[in-house]
Amino acid sequence: MKQRLRKGIAAVLCTAVMMQGTGAYLTLPVSVKPMTVSAAEADYPWSTYLKKSADWFGTGEAIQVAEDCLKYQLSEGGWQKGMATEHTGDWSHTTIDNDATTSQIRFLMRTYTQTGQQKYYDAAMRGVEALFKMQYSNGGYMQCMNTPGTYHAHITLNDGAYVHVMQIMKEMRDKTGDFTTVNDDYSAKASASLEKAIQCLLNMQITVNGVKTAWCQQHDEYTLAPAAARAYELPSVCTSESASVIQFLYKEAQETNRADLIQSVNAAIEWFKKVTLYGIKFVTQGDDKVVVQDPNADPLWARFYDIDKQIPLFSDRDSSIHYDVSEISQERRTGYAWYGNWGKNIVNLPLLQEVPIEDPVYTGELIAALQVHDRQNAESWSIQKNLKAGSKIYGDRDFTVTTLNSALIGAEFVQPACNSKSYNGNLAELTAGGYISVYVLIDTRLPLEQGITPEWLSGWTEHDVWATSSNTVSYQVFEKSLTTGETVTLGSNGTDVSVVNYFVAAVPAPDIQNTTTTTETTTEPPAVSKLTGDVDENGEVNVLDAVMLARVVAEDTTSGVTDQGRINAECDGQSGIRTSDLTTLLKYLAGIIMEFPA
């Protein structure tokens, strides 16, 4: 009886499939409702449409389909599968299953390119916004929007859905393909979405006994563990969905040379090789399908592999577990793709080798070399001259200096990437090109206010706030003196909160070594005459004297200024050294006054 009923259901469903092309609807008997069947499922052959030439999307036929996309776009922003089909429950929501939403977005963008009609672009971007909303904070994309508590809320790789979304995000990031016209804001949001999605894939890759394998069809949206979908789709390692993931990550790894991607795809390729099945075929015999032995058969892969045993896994509508396809019902054996050639292209991919990349090095005058370790953001780093109010602080932000301690005016400075604040390792190595004082200016919103200083700044001299910026940030200063060729590490910003990165300034310092030698060997009495402004006693009055005087005013006991230098430092006509002496010296150097007050 059960067998006759299964055959009857199969016959009804077969009839439904054959009737789809006629435009007619088929109503199933009330007692048999395994699914809603509608001709509209085939009304929009997206894969066929998206293979057509670019100019076709300007034709009346294409424009009508684009208008239908507008008509059936959901308030959520996306589309249900079977766009014009009447759905209820989970399938009435925006989904990325069965090429839905991603196909409409691409179709509308191509129609917009050909027609220039803004409404198509706007509708496509509403669809993109829906994709953004369908991404969890961990980076995974849900199968259906607004379906919590069901398997449709899981992160889905099914039928390439996840990869289809990533491909859109990648093209938007790079402004290529169908998305050359997207604005910078959408491009930036897509870039962030793609990075999170890739990281989520790396986090979801199934590991068995410390060895990475591949992925499941679905992953739990909270734990990222392999998850069940339909009753006969159990947690497992799935070849069909993993194949498209590997191909996407493989290309991304080639383009970025990211070590984590290279390790991930290489492990997955090796796993595919390990589980290849040889010498068998899965063939139709009458109304059934069976496995037969054939030593000349092409390599084959099971769709699912048991996670622990790493052998082919099969299941039935009762979710029972089997390791032989002959043990499941004929209806499931013939109604599902249990074997396929999904690994054919994967096992032929050559393993990737990480190409060593040298850290970029920037050079200046006071800073002989700046080797940047954060390669991802290195292009936004540089060495700039003449630090002053109005100077741009970061290579990837428009923030500027608003106030600055006079000791740093005119300094050579490191303009870093603000995004490097999230880099976990040391950011750079700085090598002195002479005797210099290096100043690290750090956002005071860091744990500094709790008295916690990054370990790499241990031994540096701490000063109060010496600068502020246009985005209302105050910078505390840490100072260190370097000799020619000496290198110092610029460490991690140490935070992932909403602060900005630090930046670095360098100014000339006296040759402490030579100064010490001269002091120890000279037998001449100290000079008693005064050359006002000549703080370093080299017979000239220049900016180096201003730097030295600033250190004296700041009560820097390591400045190396002699008693004679202190006498020369009295520039305002009054006895004693104070801020007004520095102001007077700077005015003299700037040509505002031609001589010092008597």
**Token pair of 80, please?**
């249900």
pLDDT in the model for residue 403: 95
Residue 458 has φ and ψ, to the nearest 5°, of: -60, 130
CATH of domain 206-357: 1.50.10.20
Rounded to whole angstroms, how far apart are CA atoms 430 and 549? 25
Q: What is the mean predicted confidence (pLDDT) over 438-445?
A: 93
pLDDT in the model for residue 594: 85
Q: Which residues of 283-303 are buried (b: 16+ CB within 10 A; e: fewer)?
A: eeeeeebebeeeeeeeebbbb
- Most confident by average pLDDT, 27-41, 286-300, 510-524, 537-551: 286-300
Residue 435 scores a pLDDT above 60:
yes
Answer yes or no: are the C-beta atoms of 189 and 133 closer than 8 Å.
Answer: no
- DSSP string for residues in 369-411: EEEE--GGGGGG-EEES---TT-B--TTS--BEEEE-GGGTT-
Q: Which residues pair with 508 in a beta bridge?
A: 436
* pTM of the shown model: 0.61
Residue 259 scores a pLDDT above 80:
yes
Rounded to whole angstroms, how far apart are CA atoms 538 and 114? 73
pLDDT in the model for residue 219: 97
Q: What is the mean predicted confidence (pLDDT) over 147-153?
A: 90
Point out the least confidently predicted range of 220-229, 342-351, 389-398, 516-525: 516-525
pLDDT in the model for residue 527: 40
Rounded to whole angstroms, how far apart are CA atoms 571 and 579? 10
Task: Give the 3-state secondary structure of residue 25.
Answer: coil
Answer yes or no: are the C-beta atoms of 427 and 441 closer than 8 Å.
Answer: no
Rounded to whole angstroms, how far apart are CA atoms 531 and 355? 60
Higher pLDDT, 59 or 32: 59
Sequence ranges of the chain with CATH classification 1.10.1330.10: 519-590
Q: Which amino acid is at 156?
A: T
Structural fold of domain 43-204: Glycosyltransferase (1.50.10)
Rounded to whole angstroms, how far apart are CA atoms 91 and 69? 17
Whether the CA torsion 371, 373, 376, 377 is positive or negative: it is negative
Q: Which residues pair with 504 in a beta bridge?
A: 414, 440
Rounded to whole angstroms, how far apart are CA atoms 416 and 343? 44
Residue 118 scores a pLDDT above 60:
yes
Residue 431 scores a pLDDT above 50:
yes
pLDDT in the model for residue 496: 55
Rounded to whole angstroms, how far apart are CA atoms 504 and 514? 26
Percent of the chain whose pLDDT exceeds 90: 67
Let me know if domain 519-590 sits in CATH 3.40.50.970.
no
Higher pLDDT, 56 or 421: 56
Residue 33 scores a pLDDT above 70:
no
* Averaged pLDDT score across all residues of the chain: 87
CB contact set of 241 (below 8 Å; sequence gap of 6+): 157, 158, 159, 160, 162, 215, 216, 217
Answer yes or no: are the C-beta atoms of 447 and 457 closer than 8 Å.
Answer: no
Note the pLDDT tens digit of each residue in 495-539.
655 689 999 999 998 754 444 444 444 444 444 457 898 988 888
Q: How confident is the model at residue 25 (pLDDT cuts 50, 70, 90)?
A: very low
pLDDT in the model for residue 36: 33
Sequence ranges of the chain with CATH classification 1.50.10.20: 43-204, 206-357
CB contact set of 349 (below 8 Å; sequence gap of 6+): 246, 250, 265, 269
Answer yes or no: are the C-beta atoms of 157 and 217 closer than 8 Å.
Answer: yes
